[in-house]
Structures are given as C-alpha cells and as structure tokens.
Amino acid sequence: MSADPITDDVVALLARIVDRFTGSYEAAAASQGLTTVQAKVLAALGEPLPMHRIAEELKSERSNVTGIIDRLEARGLVERRPDERDRRIKNIVATPAGAVLARNFRRSLGFAAEPLAALAPEERVRLRELLQLMVDGEA
Amino acid sequence: MSADPITDDVVALLARIVDRFTGSYEAAAASQGLTTVQAKVLAALGEPLPMHRIAEELKSERSNVTGIIDRLEARGLVERRPDERDRRIKNIVATPAGAVLARNFRRSLGFAAEPLAALAPEERVRLRELLQLMVDGEA
DNA sequence: CATGGATGGTTCATGCAGTCAACTAATCCT
DNA sequence: AGGATTAGTTGACTGCATGAACCATCCATG
C-alpha cells in the first residue's frame, strides 16, 4: 500500500514493539497497584507540578486530572499544595509513600523493558542513533 | 540505575516513540469516528473472528468484548453471525461500511506513521534488522 | 484603579473500556 | 447419560475521558 515495503515492515515491527512496551508498562504499574495513568503521573512527579501541567503531560483535559489526583490523594500518594505566588494554582507533590511507589515502578519498568534492548552493545548504540533520528525527525 | 546508560537511552527513546505511535493511532481512529479499541477490532477483522478470539487479541475479558461489539453493531459496522459448526460461537464480521472505515483507518495510520520511518533507505533497512532482533528476542 | 478577559481548578452529566462473578447454552469427554 | 469445559451475555462497579458551566484569581489596558 505505502509503496515502500521496507517502511511497511518497520511500521509493523514498531506496532509489535509498541504493544510489548505498553504491556510492560501496564504490568509494571499493576505491580505497584497503580493504573497506567496513575503510574505516568507519579513518574512525572520528580518535581512538583501544577494540575494544568499534568493535564498537558497526559494530553488530556484539566477536568480529567482532577479525578486522577483525587484518587491518588485519597490513597495518600500525592498532595495538593497551594502555590505561594499564584493562589489559583495547586502544586501536586508526591508524598514519601508516593515516591516509593514511583521508584519501584520505574525499577520494574526497567526490568521489563530491558529484554527489549537485549542486543549486542554495538547494536544498541546503532539502535540508539536510529531511534534518535526518528525522534528528531519531527517537529 | 540500570547500570547501562545506553540501554537507558534506548528505553527512553522507545518511550517517546511509543508515545507518538499511540498518538497517531488514536488520531487515525478518531479521524474515522472510532475509539482506539474499536479501530483495533475493526482492523483485526480481515477475517471473521469469534468473540473469544477478539478478547485474546485485545488481551481483555470476553465480557468486555460483548460491549465493544454491541456498540460497533449498533452503528452497523459489524455483524454477529452464528457459527455453522458450533452453535455457541458468534463470528464477528465487518459489514461493508465497517470495512470501509477499517481501510480508511489503516490508510491514515500509514500516513501518520510514515514520518517516523523517515530515514534514509539504508538506515531503514538497518532499523528493520534491529527491531526484528528485538522482536525475536522474546518468547 | 477598575473592569473585562484570560487562566487554573472543580463539578456535573455522560459515555466507553475494563474487571469480576454469576448465569445459560452448547459442546466435549468418558 | 452426565459432568466438566467453553462461548457468550448480564449486572454491578470502577477508572479514564470529554464538554459545558462555574468560581476564584490574576493580569492588562483604558
């Protein structure tokens, strides 16, 4: 269809890899009793973030984030902290408990993803180059 | 953390690429008025499939598939057709309308994904090799 | 400095996707 | 024939997502 069979192959391979990757992601999240969105939020919370930044991060609506944070806060993993300078803003910060889960999540994601990169060192370097090109290739 | 900085880089790059890919997927689905799951199902329906096969495909429960097919059927994109040999089974088959949407979806997914593979032909070949290794690398 | 417009967050209603448990119907196995 | 297994559905419940309406706060400009 797309004229170029190699491109088609690459796209198909990417589809499979994406599938595995998201599978690993979900498994890693579940291993910490988190949904994927919750894991994503918690993982992004190295620095406190206002709600609307989180909405951006998730490419979703502010109204949606309210609920997600509600649930995380109800479990004591996250805290709404009023901003000093701008009283409209609530900064979300991970509690110690939340930080632990985030760290465990990242670790188990790493383990899950590692087999994917089980290539010879030289191959991994080459792969990194190519992926970097792909990433740079767009705006 | 994972000892190997190159692996870390590769994982991070993969994460970004996965992100873009799923973004494209969602956009392509939305362009046909479909949710991502609906698009996935419709795309898998080159051949009629019994519900439980679809559940496998989606890695979800049979009970979940019931609802998904309900909605597709309500829109006339899909049809429940009783199986001749095994009367427990309902084979799901795309209606002409459904097939059109599936084809449009695939086309617009192709266009969306193509920029990702916008590498020199030689690079694409090399990338295909590496991705193939990754895919083969697991059970 | 007052006011009108933008921004940050919440609420509400609605819909889809997902799980789990309980159920019916049909098939398989012996 | 009868018990286990398999296919699909139903119902109750949760989480994620959107869109519209709404406060509160901030900010710009007249």
Q: Does the distance separating the beta carbons of A123 and B7 come in below 8 Å?
A: no
B46 near A CB under 8 A: no
A contacts of B16 (beta carbons < 8 Å): 135
- Order the strands of the B90-94 sheet from edge to edge: B49-50, B90-94, B78-82
Q: For residues A131 and A137, give the distance between their C-alpha atoms in angstroms, rounded to a whole number.
A: 10
Confidence of residue A4 (pLDDT cuts 50, 70, 90): confident
Q: Cite the beta strand spans of chain B per DSSP E.
A: 49-50, 78-82, 90-94
- Max Cα distance, chain B (Å): 57
pLDDT value of position B79: 98
Q: State the nucleotide closest to A62 in CA–C1' terms.
A: C9
Over the stretch B54-108, which tens digit does the pLDDT of each residue have?
999 999 999 999 999 999 999 999 999 999 999 999 999 999 999 999 999 999 9
Min mean pLDDT across A2-6, A32-36, B106-110 is at A2-6
pLDDT value of position A6: 85
Query: Å from A85 to nearest chain B CA?
Result: 33
Min mean pLDDT across A22-36, A110-124, B5-19 is at A110-124
* Mean pLDDT over the full length of chain A: 93
* Mean pLDDT over the full length of chain B: 92
Q: Mean per-residue pLDDT for B12-31?
A: 93
Separation of first and last alpha carbons in chain B: 26
Q: Which residues pair with B80 in a beta bridge?
A: B92
- Select the residue from A4, A7, A24, A58 to test the B interface by mutation, using most B Cβ atoms within 10 A: A7
Distance in Å, residue B52 CA to nucleotide D8 C1': 8
Over the stretch A98-112, which tens digit does the pLDDT of each residue have?
999 999 999 998 888
| Count of H-run helices and E-run strands, chain A | 6, 3
Over the stretch A51-82, which tens digit does the pLDDT of each residue have?
999 999 999 999 999 999 999 999 999 999 99
Q: Mean per-residue pLDDT for A7-19?
A: 89
Q: With a 7 Å cutoff on the CB, does B48 touch strand D?
A: no
Query: How many inter-chain contacts (A to B, CB under 8 Å) are there?
Result: 126
Given a contact cutoff of 8 angstroms between Cβ atoms, the answer to whether A133 and A74 are in contact is no
pLDDT value of position B61: 98
B134 near A CB under 8 A: yes
A132 near B CB under 8 A: yes
Confidence of residue B3 (pLDDT cuts 50, 70, 90): low
Q: For residues A91 and A104, give the distance between their C-alpha atoms in angstroms, rounded to a whole number.
A: 23
Q: Mean per-residue pLDDT for A2-10?
A: 79
Q: Does the distance separating the beta carbons of A130 and B14 come in below 8 Å?
A: no
Q: With a 7 Å cutoff on the CB, does A35 touch strand D?
A: yes
Residue A2 pLDDT exceeds 80: no
pLDDT value of position A138: 66
pLDDT value of position A76: 98
A contacts of B10 (beta carbons < 8 Å): 117, 124, 127-128, 131
Q: State the nucleotide closest to A85 in CA–C1' terms.
A: D26
pLDDT value of position A111: 82
Reported as type and span, the H/E element at residue A81 is strand A78-82
Q: At what angle do helices A51-58 and A62-74 cross, to 10 degrees?
A: 110
Burial class (CB in 10 A: 0-12, 13-18, 19+), B7: buried
What the block records as the tokens of B10 is: 């590769």
pLDDT value of position A116: 78
Residue A43 pLDDT exceeds 60: yes
Q: Kindly list the distances between the CA atom of residue A50 and the CA atoms of A72, A80, A85, B53, in Å, as whole numbers in the listed order.
A: 15, 9, 12, 43
